[in-house]
Structure formats: structure tokens, C-alpha cells
Amino acid sequence: MFEHLNQQPADKILELMQLFRDDPRDNKVDLGVGVYKDADGHTPVMRAIKAAEKQLWEAETTKSYVGILGDGAFNSAMRTLILADSVAGDRLASAATPGGTGACRQAFELARFANPGVTVHVSAPTWPNHVSILKYLGLPTVEYRYFDNATRAVDFDAMAEDLKRAKKGDLVLLHGCCHNPTGANLTADQWGTVADILAETGATPMIDIAYQGFGDGLEEDALGTRLLASRLPELLIAASCSKNFGVYRERTGILIAVSETPAASKITQANLGFLNRQNFSFPPDHGARLVQMILDDDALRTDWRAELEEVRLGMLKLREDLAAELRQRTNSDRFDFIKDHRGMFSRLGATPEQVMAMRESHGIYMVGDSRINVAGLNARTVPILAEAIVAAGV
């Protein structure tokens, strides 16, 4: 039967990774893959994770299965981290998942369970994997405008206009802090307007959040998510621990659902358990256990927050340095948007031809829409990127 299989489209990020590996130049710069890197180009294991792993190794007595929804202590700790007290606990259902992608997949399937005719509204741009999963599941999508390529900022008037087209029974996929691949984020006031629009249309929002703590701080970065949870009857949250805990390969994620009533929440919880059972049965536990240990231990949590703040401030410094370097080289402020963006990503606004020119002339590797991973820079490579941007005429 395998002779009837069709070739699947190649993943552009994986292709870019291979091109970078094959490039023999010593001064090449990888800004494509969305993984945090330190100044030496290394993705470190966080101090608190190492400490928790040591404690777990000494104390763990079994590798037996955890519950179908994952460990309850992990679910509780993550719900508190993301939502605090913004919504009553008896309105919350949750299930551990294999990473944030697993949470997104489960969320889309849950939405289809609830409304087989669901339409999913996605931002332009969103992550390719969102669209790929939705297409695979056969769910229709509608784009809403998000990014203004001229200003490199959120085109909020257009976004608000498009969101008003959503209707009750639809799912509106939103990006949490630092999550949109452009690096442009909603302000607090804009989140409030989004909440107003969704309350009026009756559409259900879903927030994909993977970078809490990378933008303006742990509490600040949860503002939009908490605001929607406090004001709307329903909300889905797909969260990942890969970035802010650095446990990429442990595939640690969670899907949280806010229902309108406690009774509805119990039914939602049962459906989350059913979906876990159908798709992968018991979720992975090692990364979840480490995250739970850190969040529930004062000393580990304090050290984790301190290192996360070091990461956040380091990325802000790289943004400021790159914007300053470009300001000096161009004698203009047109690249100041880089320091205004938050998190790991920024979209430079370069054409595919300019992206290719930067790769060929300076060994700068970024995806074709000119999204860069700011965390892939360091003090040595900031001037190299700035020189490439100016030489390409961006």
C-alpha cells in the first residue's frame, strides 16, 4: 500500500537548518530556528531544571504511568502561572500534552467536537504549523489582518475590523505575548478591545502562549490571557514550557479550557481526557514533573525566575544594540521597531530576494519572510547583520 503515498511538502525551517549546516563559512549566522541561544550559540539547561533533575533522580521510585490528564500538581501549577486568580478554578479544565504543538492539536480537535462546522480565524501571519494542522484536520480557516509590513507594527484597526466577522461557534486563534512570528505584540488596551469584540460576536478565543517571561516579565506577559479569561465565558489556552523552562526535548505542554459554568467544565474535562486517550494516551511526565517541582518550590522558583529575567534582559539588549547599529549605519530611525518588538522574533520587512542576498553575501540565515530569531545574535554578530541589512537595501 505504501506505493500510493504522496510526497509531502518539505518543512522550510528544517531545510534552512540543513543549508546552514552545509555552509562552510566561519562567520555564518543562524537566525532561523526558534530556539533560545546564549552568547556562545548554545541552548543551555536552566539552573533550576538541573537542580530539580538531581532532586528527582534521588527521590523518584517509579516510572509507572501518570494519569491520562497528566500529573494533577503540574496542571495546577501551570494554571496558576498562566491565569493566577483571573477565573474561578471550577470553570477550568486542563490536560498535559506533548508540548505546545500537542496542546494546539488537542484544542483544534476539541473545537471540532464542540462544533463540527467550526471555522478557525488565524492571523496573517501565524505559524505554518497552525495552518498545517488545521488543514490536516479538515477545518476551514479565515485569515485576519495583523501585521503592517510598512510600520512593522500591529495593524490593529484592520485586525479589529476582521475579528468582527467571527461568529458564535467560530474559534479565533490569538497569539500570547511574544508569540506572533513578527515580534509585534498587542498592547493592554488592544487586548481589551479584542475582549469587547469577542464578547459581542460570541466567538471563542484560543491563545497560543509559549514565551511567558520573555517580553516584559512573567506577570506582565500574562495580562492579555488573564483579561480574556476574566471577561469571556469560554477560552482555550495552549501553553508550552519549551522556551521559558528550556525543556524543548521533553515535550512539555498543557491545554487549559475555560468553560462558562462549573457543570460545563466537568464535561470539557472529560472530553480532554478522551482526546488524550485517542491521540497518545498518557502524556510525557519528565519535563512536566520538573516544571511542577520548580513552580512549587520557593528556592527553585526564585532561581528560575532570576535566570528567566537574565534571558529576557539579554534579548532586550540585543534588540537595542541592533537598532542602534542600524540607526548609525542608515542615519535614520526606520529600524527602531526592532527595539519595540518583544521576545525572540522580529520581521525585518525584507523581500525574499533581499533575504537571499543577505544569505549569499554575509551568511545570514533567516526564513524567507525575513523573520529573525534575535536570540541567535551576540555582540560579534550584531554588526554583521546590520551590515548585511544595509547592503541588501532593506
Give me the active site residues, please: 127, 208, 210, 243
First to last CA, the chain: 49
| Separation of alpha carbons 175 and 210, rounded Å | 9
CA distances from 163 to 3, 60, 181, 256, 259 (A): 44, 48, 19, 23, 21
| Separation of alpha carbons 59 and 31, rounded Å | 40
* Phi, then psi, of 107 in degrees rounded to 5: -65, -45
DSSP designation for 283: P
Q: Helix, strand, coil proportions of the chain in percent (round to 5)?
A: 50, 15, 35
Which helix (H) or strand (E) element contains residue 31?
none
Q: What does R_g of the chain's alpha carbons equal in angstroms? A: 21
> Cα 30 to the chain's mean position, in Å?
19
Are the C-beta atoms of residues 242 and 248 closer than 8 Å to each other?
yes
Residue position matching grid coordinates 469571556: 232
Are the C-beta atoms of residues 179 and 212 closer than 8 Å to each other?
no
- Residue type at 131? V
C-alpha cell of 157? 484597526
Those residues whose C-beta lies under 8 Å from the C-beta of residue 238, and which sit 6 or more positions away, are 97, 100, 103, 104, 106, 107, 206, 207, 208, 209, 253, 254, 255
